[in-house]
Amino acid sequence: MGEAAKGKIGGLAGVIAGKSAICTVGTGHGLNYRGYDIYDLAKYAEFEEVAYLLLKGALPTKAELADFKAELIKARALPKEMREALKLLPKDAHPMDVMRTGCSVLGCLEQENLSVAKMSFPDQLKIGIRLLGIFPSILLFWHHWHKSGTELNTESKQDSIGGYFLEKLHNKEPKELWVKAMHVSLILYAEHEFNASTFTARVVSATLSDVYSAITAAIGALRGPLHGGANEAAMELLEEFKSVEEATKGIYEKLANKAKIMGFGHRVYVKADPRNVVIKEWSKKLGDDVGDIKLLYPISEAIEKIMWDEKKLFPNLDFYSASAYHFMGIPTSYFTPIFIMSRTSGWLAHVYEQRADNKLIRPSSEYTGPENRAYVKIENR
């Protein structure tokens, strides 16, 4: 029996699937985007600086950042056909499905100019900026259409993706603290090496398909609760409890019943998720700002302690992101779409890198089925 059949390399864990100059993840390397430490980026940068870094390979100057932001602001506009398509989507659609469909629709309306024979992709950066700019508009147009029957006005004084999202979600100017929190969150989610959705984007790109197809496929991978959907599941867990005592009792019961507790552990990190310490601090700040009447932060800390004491499992980025988003009045079903608004920058960086030195990604499998079966004609079965 081979190693795969024994389950020792299930899910390709530990398998090197390619080379990349975009991100380092894991023991001995920390978390870095193109050589920059995640803690420095989260502390000092705006998300748009990090998106520029991922897409173009270097941090922008003030002038370059201003130009980049201007392009992103222009990219927020929704084509008439997109607006009509979003109106047709049902009210009970999952917001991740809305984002996936919106990306695909845009790919029909603003098709990429591909020159596969020459390996030339002149539109890829323009499309990347367009997607980063339009994704919040896609979600919030659908949101407001079904909530109040009004069409989203994409005009805004907010020059950041996070600020624009918060303003249009709540129909008022966002708190400066909230805008900063969004910058931090989007930076922390922006890139994470060959995770499931990023690898999906690279597999699609390796076939020399268009950018929209790669990003649409990545959204599909991110939708699952074992990837991006974990932050929604974490929020649903927190809302089960009304006190620290109730949470303590409830988590012990879940562990006794071998229930899976979402938001803990990681396929790459062994002792801790380096992003957690940052988002945990912001969850505390945001809870203090709005008045944590549901005790979400202390409940979260209690669950964190139990999971470490009993299972030696640490919280990942998704766990405290859940309460942080909740404190800013963001609906739980929009947590993973926010992930898209961030991770698109990392996906695009990998699409561009894959195209720059492309080889079709086609792994092999170890066959575990029956051997040498004789064919029996249908009348004799």
- Residue numbers annotated as active site: 266, 318
CA distance 124 to 184: 26
CA distance 132 to 344: 7
SS3 209: coil
Pull the structure tokens for residue 310. 């009993």
Give one DSSP letter per residue of 29-51, joined into a string: T--EETTEEHHHHHHH--HHHHH
Residues 27-52, buried b or exposed e (16+ Cβ, 10 A)?
eeeebbbbebebeebbeebbbbbbbb
Query: If you search the block for the tokens 């699952």, which residue do you land on?
Result: 224
Q: What is the DSSP letter of 373?
A: P
Residues 222 and 337: beta-carbon distance below 8 Å: no
User: What beta strand segments (E) does the chain contain?
Assistant: 23-24, 32-33, 36-37
Annotate 238-277 with b (16+ C-beta within 10 A) or e (fewer): beebeeeeebbebbeebeeeeeebbbbbbebbeeebbbbe
For residue 89, give every residue at least 6 positions away whose Cβ sits within 8 Å of its Cβ, in sequence order, or none: 97, 98, 101, 142
Alpha-carbon dihedral angle through residues 167, 168, 169, 173, given to the nearest 10 degrees: 20
HSE, side-chain direction, 13 A CA sphere, residue 277: 8
d(CA 72, CA 69): 5
